[in-house]
Structure 1
Amino acid sequence: MTSAAEPPVLVETDDQEAVTTVRLNRPDNRNALTLELKVALRDALEAVADDPSVRAVVLASSGKAFCVGQDLREHAEALRSGEDGAIGADALSTVPEHYNRIAMALGSMRKPVVCAINGTAVGAGLGFALACDLRVATAGTKFATAFAGIGFGGDSGLSGTLAHCVGSSRATELLLLGDTFTAEQARDWGIVREVAETPEATDAAALALARRLAAGPTLAFAEIKAAVAMGTVSSLREVLEHEAAAQARLGATEDHRNAVDAFVAKEKPVFRGA
């Protein structure tokens, strides 16, 4: 358990930049996901998603690892908690109650999310990172799916998001074999945007990206996120119809009209999310 003085998740908001950082905070345990941490992370992300004053989000972590996935000691206890040898009810309910909601909060948030991956990211930790929109990783970071090694399939949306990033063939290989891959491979495969030299540089790069996005057309960003997610699973006709409807919505916004006027006047546009 995390002490009262050290909450499992830290939330920091820069009101001037309209950027909130949500930070996993079990550094001594490599941010392994206990029930306490999962609940705190889910609630923090859902609250940030609903906060209109926040225009961009950074998902980060304390310590030398981003997240090593489920705390397997706690999971083993949950598996044994049922009566007469049955699997404990809480052991698998965590997927819909926590993992799914965390991934949905990240992936469907109507504002951009940047992930600062400061070290090892495996299992659900990798899934959470892939649910974000942009990622920066520290040199030397190791990634792995890890699920098959404990007789599991995948969760946190990893089965879809990994395939969308690297293609179904490589995603299948990584899920079946569980081989580790490096930050540099992740960059080459398009999983991460940038590899920074230190965890501090990773945090700084992610925050700079979030600030840049927060100053941009957040209403358009929300439509872009939805369209890209739809485009990975929909027909061209459906995507075209969705894009047309989105452009109609955005065309009626002050952000769009003001940006067009600024372009004509050769001025820098100011986006207010309206």
Structure 2
Amino acid sequence: MTYENILFDISNGIAKLTLNRPDKLNSFTQAMHLEVRDALGQVKADKSVRVLVLTGAGRGFCAGQDLSDRAVEPGAKGVDLGESVEKFYAPLVMELRNLPLPVICAVNGVAAGAGANLALACDIVIAGKSASFVEVFCKLGLIPDTGGTWHLPRLIGLARATGLAMLGEKLTAERAEEWGMIWKSVPDEVLMTEAMAMAAHFATAPTKGLAFTKKALQASYGNSLQDQLALEADMMRELGYSHDYREGVSAFMEKRTPEFKGE
């Protein structure tokens, strides 16, 4: 596929996907959804990829849905927004959550609506100091989709999630860090340097162990303690036979830097 709405490359174990409609604050159209889906398919298929970095071009990360792509005239018949969620946004969230590798989101500028919740679907979110998160759905008579109603209360609690969702107020990157909604905020000028340095770390890390960590943390939301302990035992059993565990122990004993294969 030829990409017109995103930038995508793979290098040294790092896949970098940049939403690239800067004149529209990288808002989503159906065409961009299809390109992102294709790129994520490549990430899954390429065994050399150990980490994914997601960011936006220009002065904003993502303004959510491009309303002109499904405009509704006053008095005209409405559009099926549920179909849009089912066909595009829900699969996108699940694809990011299920990738067996770390997903870093570098939020530059505004992340609004589906753009804000897309960031929250990633594993680690780093935001520039000028970045902000806005749940604009309430201003359109909608609910926070793209996993917003699931991620927000789990990350920041019901009271804060309700305030953001019902008032649509802008949340700064620094406040998002204080609330535990994102990993950290950094000066704008070092955002991508920080994100790519983290990606370089993950590109040489024990990927299978990180993938299992990601899966176990997600499973904990729905598991009892007993179920979670059983899951941990199963995962530790499998990881104990992995190359990277043996390599990690050997490197520790030999006082050298481990050479993980991600297996």
TM above 0.5, yes or no, is yes
User: What's the counterpart of residue 204 of structure 2?
Assistant: 215
Structure 1 equivalent of residue 14 of structure 2: 19
Given the alignment of the two structures, is residue 272 of structure 1 paired with residue 244 of structure 2, yes or no? no
Q: What amino acid maps onto 2:29 in structure 1?
A: T
Match of 1:108 among 98, 116, 121: 98
**Whole-angstrom distance in 1 between the partners of 2:256 and 2:157:** 41
* Matched-pair contact (CA < 8 Å) for 1:10–1:25: yes
Identity %: 35
| Deviation beyond 6 Å, 4+ runs, structure 1 | none
Partner of 2:7: 10
Give 1:102 deviation, angstroms.
Answer: 1.1
User: 1:60·1:117 contact (CA, 8 Å) conserved in 2?
Assistant: yes
Unpaired runs of 5+ residues, structure 2, are none
2: CA distance, partners of 1:238 / 1:63: 45
8 Å contact kept, 1:56–1:112? yes
- Give the alignment's TM-score, normalised by structure 2: 0.94
Per-residue deviation at 1:119?
Answer: 0.6
Alignment of 1:75 onto 2:70: yes
Alignment partner of 1:178 is 2:175? no
Distance 2:79 2:65 in 1: 16
Task: Map residues 41-190 of structure 1 onto 2, 5 A cutoff.
Answer: 41-77=36-72, 86-89=77-80, 91-190=81-180
What per-residue deviation string (whole Å, max 9, x for no partner) do you get for residues 15-39 of structure 1?
xx30010000000010111111122
Partner SS, residue 7 of structure 2? strand
Matched, 1:240 2:229: yes
Equivalent-residue separation in structure 2 for 1:44 and 1:127 (angstroms)? 19
SS of alignment partner, residue 249 of structure 1: helix
Asked whether the 8 Å contact 1:136–1:192 carries over to 2, the reply is yes
CA contact (8 A) 1:46 1:105 kept: no
Structure 1: which 5+ residue stretches go unaligned? none
Q: CA RMSD in A?
A: 1.8
Letter in 2 for 1:216: A
Per-residue CA distance 1:137-190 (angstroms, 9 max, x = gap) = 111212111112111112111111122211222112211222111011011112
Calculate the TM-score normalised by the size of structure 1: 0.90
